[in-house]
Amino acid sequence: MDKVVATAVEAVADVPDGASLAVGGFGLSGVPNVLIEALYERGVSGLSVVSNNCGAMESGLAVLLAAGRIARVTGSYIGANKEFARQYLAGELEVEMIPQGTLAERLRAGGAGIPAFYTPAGVGTQVAEGGLPWRYDGSGGVALASPPKEVRTFDGTEYVLEHGIRTDFALVRAAKGDRHGNLVFNKSARNFNPLAAMAGRVTIAEVEELVEPGAIDPDAVHLPGIFVQRVIALTPEQAADKKIEQRTVSS
């Protein structure tokens, strides 16, 4: 099945207000910027986003965040995104912070059809016991806090129950993809993109290089096309537009 869609706007045309999105990327690496910009152009709002972070340097999800289009974030890292921190502390944004490895596994589990799993990460903390501020009231108080989670003991060690994540849509970026949706990711872009793609009921991939079916060695495929419903091919200019969050130079 040829899954290629002509434009990014067409690819996200059925994403409604209030939709949940799993969004790939790690920092500024492997972020589906073109699809995010298409959502911004459409004016979609009230989004619930699941992503490692929420953009930086006015790119990625920071575009939607600054426009007030995101209502809830499930993630692991605020980083240097001052607008993210401001909206969270002001009570404008609901935020569920999750240990990074747990977030990765919750996305993978959702995509693999696993409803929940036990992990030692977070036992003995507010991650398991509840009380993490999900939303502030704008005056320094907590308007909504995380609930306690089930904890069980296996072989003498305590584990907390975490639920798999499924979202309405997923947006990812790949270095290479074919018309059937088979994808290959580049280096750290592989950290969260395959997992986000698995979690989405409808997954849309922007690819830097579009190739014909059979051009990718099956053994080199990082994400099979069964997890991808739509593909858009980036222009050379779009594919080359990559930002560096922290530039360091060694002598």
CA distance 30 to 19: 22
Query: Per-residue pLDDT for 57 more than 80?
Result: no
Q: Which residues of 54-81 are buried (b: 16+ CB within 10 A; e: fewer)?
A: bbbeebbbbbbbbeebbebbbbbbbbeb
Mean pLDDT computed over 87-92: 95
| Closest among 124, 122, 42, 142 to 76, alpha carbons compared | 122
Mean pLDDT computed over 21-29: 92
CA distance 210 to 229: 15
Q: What pLDDT, on a 0 to 100 scale, did the predictor assign at position 55?
A: 85
Residues in the chain: 251
* All structural domains of the chain with their residue ranges: 8-115+164-240, 118-162
Task: Name the band, by pLDDT with cuts 50, 70 and 90, for residue 244.
Answer: confident
Q: What pLDDT, on a 0 to 100 scale, did the predictor assign at position 56?
A: 79
Q: Which pTM value belongs to this model?
A: 0.94
Exposure on the CB side of residue 228, measured as CA atoms within 13 A: 33
CATH number of the 8-115+164-240 domain: 3.40.1080.10
Query: Per-residue pLDDT for 233 more than 90?
Result: yes
Residues in CB range of 86: below 8 A, 6 or more apart: none
Query: Per-residue pLDDT for 66 more than 80?
Result: yes
Query: Per-residue pLDDT for 107 more than 80?
Result: yes
Mean pLDDT (the chain) is: 95
Task: Name the band, by pLDDT with cuts 50, 70 and 90, for residue 211.
Answer: very high
